[in-house]
Structure formats: structure tokens, C-alpha cells
Amino acid sequence: MSAIHTDGSYVKSTIENGIASIEFYHPKGNALPAHLLSALTDAITTSANNHQTKVILIKSAGDKAFCAGASFDELASVNNEEGGKIFFSGFANVINAMRSAPQLIVGAIQSKCVGGGVGIAAACDYAIASEKASVKLSELKVGIGPFVIGPVVERKIGTAAFSQMAIDAGNWQTASWAHQKGLFAEMYSTDELMNDAVNKKVNELASSSIEAMKEIKKMLWVNTDHWSTLLYERAAISGRLVLTKEARSIITSLVR
């Protein structure tokens, strides 16, 4: 399943030997405008509902960035709170789809993650990264905050590390830091080693007990059912803040 948009962006998904592979791409650092967020949600949900799927792999194309987060072009076009909430709800939809999928999700994090990209990495049940995969929550620098992705990032790395990222919004944390904090389960010095590890892990899981993996997934995500409400409440906060004078000025300057 795939659809290539006029700007070259896409979400592609295939299922082979029990492995559902989902790849996304956007020419601007694998940023996620609304149409890609929707397509990514649909691909995750469709893969999760397919009886052939034993494990899900999420990855992005290219080697410059795993995901640059929200599309600043779209943020600049938001002109009311409801529109802002709808846009940020796209990230809530992706995270909730990942959370609700009964299969374990492996992430291949080949390079930098910003904002919502960190949220997607954190929502993976097992993220495997390269040493190029530095991370940053830059939202405060543009006048908003990591509200929608906050619960999933904090769940993975803890309150102290999440607070550091959210407040120190102008600086990158290294892949080693993210590995030490638990965002990444494994980290490798080259893309080749990372890809080998990813392939090994998904094939290993595809041959494991489906029922056991489903029960592990339930255990890992216990006490998150309220996210089906919470993340959309957080989207409303972001939708309001993106309209402030400070945020509008910064975002506009970034898209010029």
C-alpha cells in the first residue's frame, strides 16, 4: 500500500513473512504534514488489523533525519484554535495507533529526531538507532511545547530526562544520551550495523509466539487507555499556543 504525493512525500507499507514494514518520507527532513500523519495512522492501523502481521517495523527514507517533526509550513497556515487542534491531533492519532496495535513495533531510527519524531521513536516498543540519531524537543523555542508527545516520551525516558529535553529546547542530546535514558534499546556506529540489527530483531520477533507478544504489549502499555482523551486535550493546548504572537512570529520566520 502506498501513495506518492505531488511533493514526493509518501507512506509505503508492505507485509512479508509476518513483518509489516511501514516507511514514510518527506523532502523536508521527513517532516510530517497532516496528510502524512493521516497516512501513517492508516498504515499502522491497517497493518495491525491484518491477520498476517506478527510484528510492525516503522522507518523513514534517507539518512539526513528520521523525522523533523511537525511541518512548519502547515503550522504557519493555522489561523484558529480548532485548526491547530486538528493538526496536532494528527500526532495523537499516530501515537494512539501505535499504542493500540496488538503487535510489538520496532523502530529503525537512522538519524536525527526532532519534536514529533522523538514521540514516534518513543512510541516504538523497541527502537534501534544509529549514533547519528541525536534528539531534540524544540517546541519551546517556537513558542509551544511537547504537549501531545509528552506522555509517550516521559513514559519511555522518565520525568527528569523529559524535563531536560522539554526545557533545554535549543540543544541536541546525543544518541548515546538517548540510549542511556532508554529511548533507544540498541545503538550502532554505522547504518549497516543498525540495519542488520533491525532485520535480526524483526525476523526474531516474527518467529516468536504471537499470543505471548500480544500479552507483553498489553503489559508494556498498561494504564494508558486514558490517552484516547488526554492526547487530544494536549492537542488543544498546542492549537491555542501556536496562535500566540510569539509563536506566529517565530514560525513565520522559519518558513520564509
pLDDT of residue 2: 65
How far is the C-alpha of 38 from the C-alpha of 89, rounded, in Å? 10
Q: What are phi and psi of 111, to 5 degrees?
A: -160, -160
Amino acid identity of residue 62, one-letter, is G
Which stretches in the chain have pLDDT values below 70? 1-3, 256
Which residues have C-beta within 8 Å of that of residue 107, sequence separation ≥ 6?
57, 58, 59, 120, 121, 124, 126, 127, 128
Fill in the DSSP letter of residue 8. Answer: S
CB 135 within 8 A of CB 175: yes
> Which domains are delineated in the chain?
2-210+223-255 (3.90.226.10)
User: Is residue 164 a contact partner of residue 130, using CB atoms and an 8 Å limit?
Assistant: no
* pLDDT score for 62: 93
Tell me how far apart the terminal alpha carbons of the chain are, to the nearest angstrom. Answer: 34
Residue 14's pLDDT is 97
Instruction: Give the pLDDT confidence score for residue 1 in this predicted structure.
Output: 62
Rg (CA), the chain: 17
Are 243 and 251 within 8 A, CB to CB? no
CA 219, distance to chain mean position in Å, is 21
How does pLDDT run across 171-184, given as a tens digit for each residue? 999 999 999 999 99
pLDDT attached to residue 6? 73
User: What pLDDT score does 3 carry?
Assistant: 67
For residues 168 and 138, is the Cβ–Cβ distance under 8 A?
no
Q: Are 47 and 53 in contact (CB under 8 A)?
A: yes
Cα distances (angstroms) measured from residue 34 to each of 174, 198, 212: 28, 28, 35
Can you give the pLDDT at residue 256? 63
Task: Give the type of residue at 109.
Answer: I
Q: Are 160 and 140 in contact (CB under 8 A)?
A: no
pLDDT of residue 7: 82
pTM for the predicted model, two decimal places: 0.95
